[in-house]
Structure 1
């Protein structure tokens, strides 16, 4: 499992480096998001979550991301939750539409959830302040995966001149 995670992270990083351009004004962005999801099977009734994403723009088309937050899964008789920690590479097709790949871990905080590997392909739309995306999240050690929508407010951390 560690080899798969290390290979995925290395591939994502090298791909981002290949797409990066040296003449772009690089910088950080910060985003705060709300998430809602539906499980791919009947193990849970749905999910809701919040997250914080730091994004480093390597070029006009390629960014590295770090995302964490809290996700709550609804089920009977006891709801459960986890804290995701994911690294990702975001690639913009044009000015606003993008595809992203994320890999990381889910750390169970209550109920019967243990820790799990997370893999997530993402497709989305982003402008200066809004980020809306749809993702499929695979959990290696949970009884379900999910399809989730994320709506976020983001902004640049660069000082204006």
Structure 2
């Protein structure tokens, strides 16, 4: 029930950003990234809500990322993305026997992904990426692997700011394989929101 509420809140937040930015966007015709012939770079803030077993011990994730969109065909881009995620642990979690409590150790990750971004209609896109997340807290989190495979389907919208500048807002589901081969709960899965400033070269 809590996860459903958090996911709904994230979707509503994205909708609010979309409507707010849409209201401030001029109705005049603006050249969008879908017709761009050059590379688009973006720098963004990332936030997320853990799902599944991860939500038992973790509250949210926060971080940032840089991304390059490289045009390969009309409305189609290859994406390269690298970032940092800090997944914040909960405090005073009851142990299985209920006798003691503990604080979950934050998970620190460096995700590196590549994928495809396709504009279905002007400004609105679907995106799929895959890659690896490298753990910066392997020992603290009792992982036996330094990295795990990740994948992230996403939808988003680019709001033209004028010239070759945009606000790029997207919602994604990001999931990983296990960081500890014997612990299923070592998967890192979350719903994420990325809001970035993008500019064409």
TM-score (norm 2): 0.63
The runs of 5 or more residues in structure 1 that have no matched partner are 1-23
In structure 1, the partner of 2:46 is 35
Shift of the alpha carbon at 1:150? 0.4
Distance in 1, matches of 2:150 and 2:67, equals: 16
Distance in 1, matches of 2:198 and 2:192, equals: 19
Q: Which structure has greater strand proportion? A: 1
Distance in 1, matches of 2:114 and 2:134, equals: 15
Greater than 2 Å deviation, 4+ residue runs: none
Q: Which structure has greater helix proportion? A: 2
Distance in 2, matches of 1:25 and 1:107, equals: 33
Matching residue within 42, 63, 83 for 1:49? 63
Contact 2:43 2:66 in 1 (8 A): yes
Distance in 2, matches of 1:43 and 1:108, equals: 17
Matching residue within 132, 136, 139 for 2:176? 139
Q: Quick check: 94-103 or 108-117, which moved more? A: 108-117
- Computing the radius of gyration over CA atoms, which structure comes out larger, 1 or 2? 2
Matching residue within 120, 135, 151 for 1:108? 135
Aligned residues: 134
The runs of 5 or more residues in structure 2 that have no matched partner are 1-34, 90-102, 161-165, 179-185
